[in-house]
Every structure is written in structure tokens, then in C-alpha cells.
């Protein structure tokens, strides 16, 4: 690990002011420290933000939930309000990492964790995300874990977060503070950038901009679940994951909010798939059509070709689970 400067911020404004010159925020450090040890990231300065007042969970006036950026994954997953009203989020968090990591990992850090692409982590290999213009060794390499949607010729990396997939299905909004003191609100989907020809640019955050909270809207009617398909039962990243919220009224689907992980460079959601389902009677045939639409532009790169049929089976299974009681 290369030498670096370390300071502690006392206020959010102090943190953004220091970071505007190129310093990197650190909270739990569960991803950042690994990247620093491998010299994939080598920040000259770290700003510890753990003293900031960003570790609270509280209800909003409209019945939603405001989650401070420093709330740990363990505290969020086990919060009674989250378990009762937003269970898809609790399940997604508990499906991610180990208990020890969840005790340190924070809400803001989870959203900003880097891809687990093997070629991104290996400094001897070409990676446009790590070194723009060097190429993408993953396209013709061992790409079993990598993306089949939202890719470009420059990058096929996947976003690793389980939490972000659930928050995408819940229409979460991200609150930030910029170095000029201005705040802004972004829908979660607006936070992330697809790789295009600049895979090194992963979010729309400006230098020094700090995530301060994530806000969930009020709970909605419907059953919720999070299904994660992975190589082993714990401490493994998703091959495919699905966060689903589905309501059925009078025998027809009245609401369908679906987000997917393990498939793309960001949590993936397709409004056309949801529109196809709403108003229809639940059936295996309908669910198959939804999967066809979701995967219409999917492309495998050899070792990850299996993700396409796996996603189809997973989506059909999740939709069956979420509608079976209403269909009985």
C-alpha cells in the first residue's frame, strides 16, 4: 500500500471542502482498503467521515424512510421498520457479504462499491475502467460473472451491490452535498452511468460530492421478495438477482416493480417489462413474455452465456412466488 494522508472531517461541509481537491472519502472501508492494498486505487489523501451525523434512520413526513449514509448494512437490515415495511431491502442486505462486513459497510459506501471483475483487480491485465484506453481483457477472457445487459465494447463489468438492486425496485432517491454547499436529489438510476466509451466514469457525482442519505418513498401494497442466485449459499456475489414487489387485485396484476442484479453495470430495471405485466392475469406464459422482453437485447460473451436462460428461470420463479396466493 502506498503512503497517503489521513484526516477526519468534523462536518459534512468540511468533508466536501477537503475532498474537492481530490481526496477520497472513507467510512467502513470494506471495499476501498482492498483496492488500496492491490494498488488498484491509490488515493493520496483519505477523509474519514465516520464522525459526521449521518448514521440515523427516521421516518419522513410522507411515511417514507430517510437512511443516513453512515447507517451500517447490519443496522439497516435489522431495523424493525425496514423488516416490516420494506422487507425486500432487508432480505437483499442479509444476502450480501458476511456478518462482519455488514457490521462495517455503510449505506453510502455500498452504493459506490466497485465492480468485482477479475480484470479490474489485476493490474497486469487490460481494463478500461481502471486505466482508460488500455482495452477490456474480460470480453475475450473469463467473464462468467460479468454483464449481459448495458455493456459496451469498452466494458462488460457488473455492479456488485445487492442493496442497490432492492433500492432500485423501491424507487429510492439519493441525497448529496456538493463542495459548493448545494444539495441535490437524484433518483438511484440517475446516480449511475453506463460504461459507453468512458467506463472509468461510474456515477454522476462531482469531485467532493458526498452522499448524505438515501430516501425511500412510503411503503406500497404488494408482496416483496429478493432472490439471489449464486455459486454458494453465503458470501458470494450474485450471478443473477431479482428484487420484486408485485400486487394482485381482482385476479390481475396491479403493480409490478422489478430490479435485477448481476446482469449489468448498474442495478437494472426495465419499465416496459413492468408495463407488460400490469393489468394481466398471472400465468407462466405471461411471465415468459416478460422475460423475453427483459432479455431482448441481452448478449453473452462466452463464459457468461448461461446468465440469459438463468435470468429467465429466475424471473419466472419470482413472479410465480409473488402471485401464487392471489392466483390460488
pLDDT tens digits for 103-127? 999 999 999 999 999 999 999 999 9
Contacts 24+ apart (CB under 8 A), 19-28: 19/47, 19/179, 19/207, 19/208, 19/210, 20/179, 20/207, 20/208, 21/45, 21/208, 22/207, 23/47, 25/49, 25/210, 27/69, 27/70, 27/106, 27/108, 27/109, 28/72, 28/104, 28/105, 28/106, 28/109
User: Domain boundary at 32, 50, 68, which?
Assistant: 50
pLDDT in tens, 280-308: 999 999 999 999 999 999 999 999 999 99
| Alpha-carbon torsion angle 270, 275, 280, 283, nearest 10 | -10
Q: Which CATH number goes with the domain that contains 268?
A: 3.30.390.50
Per-residue CA distances from 31 to 36, 289, 299 (Å) = 9, 38, 28
> pLDDT confidence of 97, banded at 50, 70, 90?
confident
pLDDT in tens, 158-172: 999 999 999 999 999
pTM, two decimal places = 0.96
Q: How far, in Å, CA of 214 to CA of 209, rounded?
A: 14
252 found inside a domain: yes
326 pLDDT band (50/70/90 cuts)? low
Q: Is residue 166 part of a domain?
A: no
Examine residue 196 and state whether it is found in any structural domain, yes or no: no
Instruction: Find how far residue 36's CA is from the centre of its chain.
Output: 22
Buried/exposed code over 304-326 (b: 16+ C-beta within 10 A; e: otherwise): beebbebbbebbbebbeebbeeb
Q: Is residue 328 domain-resident?
A: no
Asked if the structure places residue 85 within a domain, the reply is no
In a domain, 110, yes or no: no
Domain limits for position 306: 223-323
pLDDT at site 1: 75
- Asked if the structure places residue 200 within a domain, the reply is no
58 forms beta bridges with 66
Mean pLDDT of 195-206: 97
The more confident residue out of 146 and 2 is 146
How many domains, in total, are found in the chain? 2
**Cα–Cα dist 154/162, whole Å:** 24
- Residue 306, domain member (yes or no): yes
pLDDT of 107 reads 98
Asked if 89 and 222 touch (Cβ cutoff 8 Å), the reply is no
Beta strands 183-187; 173-177: pairing state:
antiparallel
Statement: residue 328 has pLDDT above 70? no
Q: How do strand 210-216 and strand 65-68 relate by DSSP bridges? A: antiparallel
Amino acid at each position: 500500500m502506498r503512503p497517503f494522508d489521513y484526516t477526519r472531517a468534523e462536518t459534512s461541509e468540511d468533508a466536501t471542502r477537503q475532498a474537492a481537491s481530490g481526496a477520497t472519502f472513507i467510512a467502513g472501508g470494506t471495499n476501498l482498503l482492498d483496492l488500496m492494498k492491490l494498488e488498484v486505487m491509490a488515493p493520496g489523501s483519505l477523509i474519514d467521515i465516520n464522525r459526521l451525523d449521518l448514521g440515523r434512520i427516521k421516518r419522513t413526513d410522507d411515511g417514507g424512510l430517510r437512511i443516513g449514509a453512515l447507517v451500517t448494512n447490519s443496522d439497516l437490515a435489522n431495523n424493525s421498520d425496514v423488516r416490516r415495511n420494506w422487507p425486500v431491502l432487508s432480505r437483499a442486505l442479509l444476502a450480501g457479504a458476511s456478518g462482519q462486513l455488514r457490521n462495517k459497510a455503510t449505506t453510502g459506501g455500498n452504493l459506490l462499491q466497485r465492480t468485482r471483475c477479475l480484470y479490474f483487480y489485476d493490474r497486469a491485465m487490460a481494463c478500461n475502467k481502471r486505466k482508460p484506453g488500455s482495452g477490456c481483457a474480460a470480453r475475450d477472457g473469463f467473464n462468467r460473472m460479468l454483464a449481459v445487459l448495458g455493456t459496451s465494447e469498452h466494458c462488460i463489468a457488473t455492479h456488485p451491490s445487492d442493496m442497490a438492486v432492492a433500492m432500485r425496485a423501491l424507487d429510492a432517491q439519493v441525497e448529496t452535498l456538493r463542495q459548493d454547499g448545494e444539495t441535490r436529489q437524484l433518483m438511484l438510476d440517475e446516480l449511475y452511468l453506463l460504461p459507453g466509451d468512458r467506463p472509468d466514469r461510474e456515477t454522476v457525482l462531482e469531485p467532493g460530492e458526498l452522499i448524505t442519505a438515501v430516501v425511500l418513498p412510503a411503503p406500497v401494497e404488494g408482496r416483496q421478495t429478493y432472490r439471489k442466485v449464486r455459486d454458494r449459499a453465503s458470501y458470494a456475489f450474485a450471478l443473477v438477482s431479482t428484487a420484486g414487489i408485485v400486487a394482485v387485485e381482482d385476479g390481475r396484476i396491479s403493480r409490478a416493480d422489478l430490479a435485477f442484479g448481476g446482469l449489468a453495470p448498474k442495478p437494472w430495471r426495465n419499465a416496459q417489462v413492468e408495463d407488460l405485466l400490469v393489468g394481466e392475469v398471472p400465468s407462466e406464459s405471461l411471465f415468459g413474455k416478460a422475460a423475453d422482453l427483459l432479455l431482448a437485447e441481452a448478449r453473452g460473451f462466452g463464459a457468461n452465456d448461461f446468465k440469459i436462460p438463468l435470468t429467465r428461470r429466475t424471473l419466472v420463479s419470482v413472479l410465480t412466488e409473488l402471485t401464487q396466493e392471489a392466483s390460488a
